């Protein structure tokens, strides 16, 4: 198609989609939401130039036509979200995912790898809480370096030049008074981007709720460990009640938000409790983030790491919550199939409070700093290149991580590039105490669970369109297995099939 015709189609598709999103509340009121969503997906198909994204939109349209439970989630979101926030989410988060295809394609042609679609910035280390096993090793106020407004602005501007439109603030605590004004100013200046923050929620008062509604382009993701016993047990007495209060304030103001949960051996039961998910959805959560506990940072605790069996049950649980309730729970490990494996070191990066550019918030090594380098310098570095190279050899996207699934690859990238640990305890993951443990854990997970889930279970048959390249194992066809399936203790035939395909 000639370029001018494609641009005209994109323009019409974009603005017709924006107008339709504004009309969604009226369509819901007249019981016409489902056909309106199908029409929205049809209009949006005119926007992407990337075939992968066009296929994604086709799957979205199919889900809307079949009245997937996600339609219920859209309905709840429309009813609960302030019109300004609803429109901003669509314009800044959803549309640019497809509109920026040409910018990302130019980057890919120039650099030979994909640019970041997501970046996390931790502008400070200070936090008002001191949670057990904090991966960020947060500290008390005024004890660490921080990124100022000008540095944050420079980072965000460079990311935007790559076609990145989704930027996450972490910490420390991003609502902390030491940094909140700078974060507000960044969101206001870059009002065409989508931002999210991981927050403990305890500092979200009426003033911050007003800030969030005025900003319009910041999604809070509130950290929680489970019910009151689990949350207060890790985060401190009274935290659960303050989190519930923050959720009530946000929902009352029409601010869209979600939750984040670190699953460990101690809170595994509540992490896989549908009643807990129902509770959070009732409180107003429209998305969830699950993080597997990774033994990294100061004083890592191996007893908190989930077993391979527990990890597989978490995988089944998050997948079933989407199919049954329409709630999208993203898990950086078990959701690997959605983004074709690990995205660290290329499609994703992290900048810590000292300015160190890291491939991932858990991969605490770096040899570039934003105070004297650009992000592109780190992306081009041997360290990041080695990480991306290893990703290309991973066949099963259910095993994406170079710590928890392929620790030998993570150690190799560190050793050959000569990078330094950027945080206290960063090197501990390759120690004699932890590294052999992770090797044993990953081997068991692969042979007893991950291979079966990807090749045999049929859970991922609907993603076959995304895994046609020879480098991938093909997801197996067949009916989905129900939550609670127990894998065989030994499956030598399956293991032989995996080795043959590899």
DSSP codes, 299-310: S--GGGSPPHHH
- Judged by DSSP in three states, 286 sits in strand
Q: What is the pLDDT of residue 87?
A: 87
**Helix (H, G, I), strand (E, B), or coil: what is residue 344?**
strand
pLDDT (tens digit per residue) in 408-449: 999 999 999 999 999 888 888 899 999 999 999 999 999 999
Phi first, then psi, for residue 133 (nearest 5°) are 75, 25
d(CA 471, CA 464): 13
Dihedral pair phi/psi, residue 297, rounded to 5°: 95, -165
Each residue's pLDDT tens digit, 225-248 = 999 999 999 899 999 999 999 999
Cα 192 to its chain centre, rounded Å, is 20
> Rounded CA gap, 446 and 438, in Å?
12
Paired sense of beta strands 357-358 and 348-351, if any: antiparallel
Torsions phi, psi for 236 (to 5 deg): 120, 150
State residue 2's pLDDT score: 63
How far apart are alpha carbons 349 and 369 in whole angstroms? 13
- For the chain, the first-to-last Cα distance in angstroms comes to 38
Look up the CATH number of domain 114-378. Answer: 3.20.20.70
Q: Where are the domains of the chain?
A: 3-99, 114-378
Q: Is 490 helix (H, G, I), strand (E, B) or coil?
A: coil
Q: What is the pLDDT of residue 439?
A: 96
SS3 332: coil
Q: Determine how β-strand 420-421 pairs with β-strand 365-366.
A: antiparallel
Output the pLDDT for position 135: 57
pLDDT of 266 reads 93
DSSP assignments along 175-210, one per residue: TSTTTHHHHHHHHHHTTTSEEEEEE-STT--HHHHH
According to the model, what pLDDT value does residue 480 have? 47
pLDDT-flagged residues of the chain (< 70): 1-7, 9-11, 133-144, 478-502
Strand partners, 167: 119, 195
Q: What 8-state DSSP symbol labels residue 119?
A: E
Query: What is the pLDDT at residue 98?
Result: 79
The mean pLDDT value of the chain amounts to 88
Q: Where are the alpha helices (DSSP H) in 51-139?
A: 51-65, 70-80, 83-89, 95-99, 101-111
**Rounded-to-integer distance, Cα 102 and Cα 104, Å:** 5
Crossing angle of helices 3-29 and 33-44, rounded to 10°: 170
Residue 138 confidence (pLDDT): 61
- Give the 3-state secondary structure of 449-483: HHHHHHHHCCCCHHHHHHCCCCCCCCCCCCCCCCC
Residue 337 Cα distances to 170, 454, 459, angstroms: 25, 9, 11
DSSP string for 222-283: EE--SSHHHHHHHH-TTHHHHHHHHHHHHHHHT--EEEEEEE-TTTHHHHT-HHHHHHHHHH
Q: What are phi and psi of 15, to 5 degrees?
A: -75, -30
In angstroms, the Cα distances linking 30 to 23, 27, 66, 81, 88 are: 11, 5, 19, 18, 23
Q: How far does Cα 161 stand from its chain's mean position?
A: 21
Predicted pLDDT of residue 442: 96
pTM of the predicted model as reported, rounded to 2 decimal places:
0.89
Neighbours of 290 (CB within 10 A): 22
3-class secondary structure, 358? strand
SS3 of residue 371 by DSSP: coil
Nearest to 403 by CA among 362, 368, 433: 362
| Cα gap 395→458, rounded to integer Å | 17
Alpha-carbon distance of 262 to 266, in angstroms, equals 10
Give me the residue label for tokens 């990703």.
Answer: 391
């Amino acid at each position: 198609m000639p370029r001018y015709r494609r641009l005209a189609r994109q323009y019409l598709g974009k603005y017709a989609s924006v107008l339709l999103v504004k009309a969604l509340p009226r369509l819901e009121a007249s019981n016409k939401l489902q056909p309106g969503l199908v029409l929205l997906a049809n209009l949006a198909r005119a926007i992407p130039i990337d075939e992968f994204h066009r296929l994604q939109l086709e799957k979205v349209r199919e889900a809307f036509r079949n009245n997937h439970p996600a339609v219920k989630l859209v309905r709840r979101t429309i009813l609960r979200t302030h019109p300004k926030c609803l429109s901003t989410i669509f314009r800044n988060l959803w549309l640019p995912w497809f509109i920026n295809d040409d910018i990302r394609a130019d980057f890919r042609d120039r650099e030979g790898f994909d640019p970041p679609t997501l970046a996390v910035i931790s502008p400070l280390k200070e936090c008002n809480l001191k949670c057990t096993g904090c991966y960020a090793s947060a500290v008390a106020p005024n004890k660490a370096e921080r990124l100022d407004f000008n540095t944050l602005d420079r980072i965000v501007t460079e990311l935007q030049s790559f076609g990145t439109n989704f930027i996450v603030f972490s910490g420390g605590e991003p609502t902390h008074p030491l940094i909140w004004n700078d974060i507000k100013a960044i969101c206001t200046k870059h009002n065409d981007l989508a931002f999210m923050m991981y927050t403990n929620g305890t500092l979200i008062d009426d003033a911050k709720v007003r800030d969030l509604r005025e900003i319009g382009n910041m999604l809070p993701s509130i950290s929680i460990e489970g019910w009151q016993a689990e949350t207060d047990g890790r985060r401190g007495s009274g935290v659960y009640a303050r989190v519930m209060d923050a959720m009530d304030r946000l929902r009352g103001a029409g601010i869209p938000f979600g939750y984040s949960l670190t699953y460990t051996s101690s809170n595994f039961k509540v992490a896989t409790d549908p009643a807990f998910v129902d509770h959070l959805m009732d409180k107003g959560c429209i998305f969830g983030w699950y993080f597997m506990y990774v033994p990294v940072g100061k004083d890592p605790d191996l007893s908190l790491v989930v077993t391979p069996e527990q990890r597989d049950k978490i995988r089944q649980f998050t997948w079933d919550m989407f199919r049954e309730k329409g709630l999208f729970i993203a898990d950086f490990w078990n959701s690997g199939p959605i983004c074709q494996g690990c995205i660290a070191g290329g499609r994703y990066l992290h900048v810590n409070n000292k300015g160190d550019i890291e491939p991932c918030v858990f991969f605490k090594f770096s040899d570039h700093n934003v105070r004297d380098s650009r992000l592109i310098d780190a992306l081009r570095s041997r360290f990041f290149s080695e990480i991306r190279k290893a990703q290309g050899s991973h066949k099963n996207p259910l095993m994406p991580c170079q710590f928890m699934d392929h620790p030998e690859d993570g150690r190799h990238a560190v050793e050959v590039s000569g990078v330094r640990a950027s945080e206290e305890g960063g090197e501990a993951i390759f120690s004699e105490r932890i590294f052999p443990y992770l090797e044993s854990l990953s081997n068991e997970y692969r042979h007893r669970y991950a291979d079966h889930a990807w090749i045999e279970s049929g859970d991922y048959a609907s993603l076959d369109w995304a895994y046609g390249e020879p480098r991938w194992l093909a997801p197996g066809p067949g009916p989905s297995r129900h939550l609670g399936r127990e894998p065989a203790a030994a499956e030598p035939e399956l293991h032989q099939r995996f080795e043959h395909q590899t």
